[in-house]
Amino acid sequence: MSNYIHPALTPEEMREASQAMNRLRWQGTNQRERSAFARRIAIDPDKPRCGCGNMTLARAQARADIHGKGLGHEVGCPFYRRRRHLGKRKPPKRK
């Protein structure tokens, strides 16, 4: 079975090809991750999204800083920026 759906396939063959493509797409993810992704996409299904799918592309670009990155993205996303933890703050100096 090939990994694409061709219009000349019978309905049974098309269903099998579709299921095979779906298994390949979600390979390596669990049900919780698939559900979370579906919830994010359901908000604006027709708009282009960032690489991780957490935001629409317009929102990701608007939230990005001068380096083209913003918070709220997954590690593999081109908009991903790691949150900086500065550690303990020093107490202010007394005069």
3: confidence class by pLDDT, cuts 50, 70, 90: low
Structure tokens at 39: 């919830």
Which pLDDT score is estimated for 45?
A: 77
Q: Report the phi/psi class of residue 56: left, alpha or beta, with left for phi > 0 and alpha for psi in -120 to 50.
A: beta
Domain parsing of the chain, residue ranges: 1-43, 46-82
Which pairs count as long-range contacts for 18-21, CB under 8 Å and 24+ apart, including other chains? none
The C-alpha atoms of residue 52 and residue 63 are separated, in whole angstroms, by 15
Which pLDDT score is estimated for 4?
A: 59
Residues 40-90 have pLDDT tens digits of: 777 777 888 888 888 888 888 888 877 667 777 888 888 887 766 666 777
Neighbours of 95 (CB within 10 A): 3
Q: pTM of the prediction?
A: 0.46
**Which range (23-27, 28-32, 82-86) has the least confidence?**
82-86
